[in-house]
Structures are given as C-alpha cells and as structure tokens.
Amino acid sequence: MARGFRKRIHQENTENSGFGASASGRFINKDGLPNVQRKGVNVFNRLSWYHTMLNLSSFRFISYLVIGYILINLVFAVIYYLIGVEHLTGIDKSNPLDEFIDVFFFSSQTFTTVGYGRIAPVGFMASLVATFEAFLGLLTFAIATGLFYGRFSRPRAYLRFSDIAVIAPFKDVTALMFRLAPYKNNALTDADVTLSTAIEITENEKTKTNFYRLETQLAKINTLALNWTIVHKIDENSPFYGFSEDDFRNINIEIIVHVRAFDEVFSNTVVQRSSYASREIVYGAKFTPMYYPNKEHQSTVLNLDKINEYEKVDLPVSAGE
C-alpha cells in the first residue's frame, strides 16, 4: 500500500455522511437512493404511498390504475348482484352470467358517471349503492388527477451519468473523472456538484469506513446543456494520493456524487445522486469528446450515445509513490 494512503488513514473523517461505523454494503445505490432497509413501525406507516406512486414506472402505474378499476367494478357488481337484479331496469335476465355481466357494466357506467340509463337503479338499496359508487368514482378520479399531475410535474434533473469513472492524466498529475449530461429537453442552469468518498480501511484487524469530501475543479457551471466532466485532481490533498492501480482495484471505495441544478421550466432546484464503486473505476483512461459543431457550424451537437466512450492512456508515475 502506498505511503500517502497509510498517512491518511490516521486522519479523522472529514465528512458527516450520515452513515456510521456499522453501516454495511454500498452506501448510495447507483440510482442515488441510500442502501438502507427500514424495519419496525408497521408497513403502512412506513410507506408514503404518494412517494411510492411517484416512483413507479409509467407501465406499472397505468397497470395499477386499470387493475384497480376492474377490481372496484367487480366488487360493486357483486354487491348489486346480491341486492338483486330486480332493483335495476334494463338487465338482460336470460341467465345468471348475463345478469352478472350486465351489473358489472352498470357498475362501470356508474363509477365513471357515464350513466347511459339503459340500465338504471330503481330500488332503494341499488340506488343507494349507486349513489356512493358515483361519489367514489369522482373522488377516485380526483386522486388520479393529482397523481398524474404529481408524477409528471415532479422536478427531475434527467441527467445521464457515465457508467464508469476514469483515472486520467490531468496537468502534471492524475485525476479521477466521470461525466454527466442532461438527456432531455429541459433547461438546467447554475449547476453545482458535491463529491465525497467512502474508503474502507483495515487497521489493527478492525475494518472501518472513513468518509472524505473530494475537491473538484470547477464545481459550478452556468449552463448545463452539453456534457460536464467532473474532475477530482489527485494531489496531496486527495485521499487517493499515492493510490496505485492495485489500490483502486482492491480497496473498497465508493464515490458519492450529488448534482444540483436549477430547472427553468419547473423554476425549481433539481438534484440527482449517483455513486461509483471500485469496480466502476477504470485506471489509465480518458473520455473521448461527445459533442461537436453541426454541419453548418451554427449549433453544437451532443451525442449522448458516446457518454461511456473512453480510450486507454498511460498515466504519469504518481508523485506520491
């Protein structure tokens, strides 16, 4: 192990990460969420169903709505059927299945308030249930309206991070670099980045994790329209100072990234987090450019498919070794 590292491990943690000595495994998952499981309380109190609905994929969200719609209609169909089809006009009474199908459609016509009236309630109980089903239908769509709006108005950064970070030459020394780019037609300004690292170290046969803030070159940017390469220079102030290729491979490292920007359409601050583990760091590589002028030289083209493209390079011998 390099001398620089040995020296450093006697330093105090310089970061208040929010994770303690007995936390285990990756701290921040690749998608930016902390790798923590909650227990206790009961599951209903532990879930914010609104957060859950907002984080569902569009496919699952729509599926839940459709399934919910079918289930509610089945439940009400059973209720109307039990009350008796004689309390509804216009039912096809040829056989029980046709009766049930007709009350199911009556239920859906009530729940959606379409109310054609071909089937309509006449008795007291059927009318009463229909009264509440229509009310429930409207409240359900009120909630659905809120969920749709909550889902698509939720401010998000829409940043794509490079899958890997590289250790690349930088001026006289080396630097840890990765890059990110906005991949949607949103307009981000005033972006800044915060970088920290968790390094697992073994000392006197005890394993513990230290947290360090990592300095970055140009931690702020005015307009985040092209890609942005985050550069952490590995000099004597870096906890990676003196790390060899083997150190980067063998020591448990986690780079935690926190990007913040202002979205001009939402007029809101958006954040996105990600992390790089040891196995996602490529030693001796540099990224290749991913944007270039367009044909008429009147605009700049950003090719998002190139975000992970890099080429191998030789690194200068680290000053710390």
Stretch that binds its own copies, among 75-83, 126-134, 243-251, 276-284 (CB under 8 A): 126-134
* CA contacts within 13 A on the Cβ side of 319: 14
The residue (of 90 and 316) whose beta carbon lies closer to its own copies is 90
48 binds its own copies (CB under 8 A): yes
CB of 102 to its own copies, least distance (A): 8
Token representation of residue 305: 């498919």
Residues numbered 259-318 forming contacts with its own copies, rule: CB under 8 A: 262, 264-271, 273, 289, 291-294, 296-307
Residues whose CB falls within 8 Å of the CB of residue 199, separated by 6 or more in sequence, listed in order:
209, 210, 212, 239, 251, 252, 253
125 binds its own copies (CB under 8 A): no
Instruction: With H, G, I as helix, E, B as strand and everything else as coil, classify residue 180.
Output: strand
CB of 78 to its own copies, least distance (A): 16
Using an 8 Å Cβ cutoff, are 142 and 165 in contact?
Answer: no
The residue (of 130 and 318) whose beta carbon lies closer to its own copies is 130
d(CA 185, CA 104): 44
14 binds its own copies (CB under 8 A): no
Stretch that binds its own copies, among 147-155, 165-173, 236-244, 311-319 (CB under 8 A): 147-155
Determine which residue in the list 84, 96, 150, 316 makes contact with its own copies, applying CB under 8 A: 150
Region for 252 from its dihedrals, namely left if φ exceeds 0, alpha if ψ lies in -120 to 50, beta otherwise: beta
Token representation of residue 111: 């729940």
What is the per-residue binding string for its own copies in 85-114, x denoting contact by CB under 8 A?
A: ----x--x--------x---x--xxx-xxx
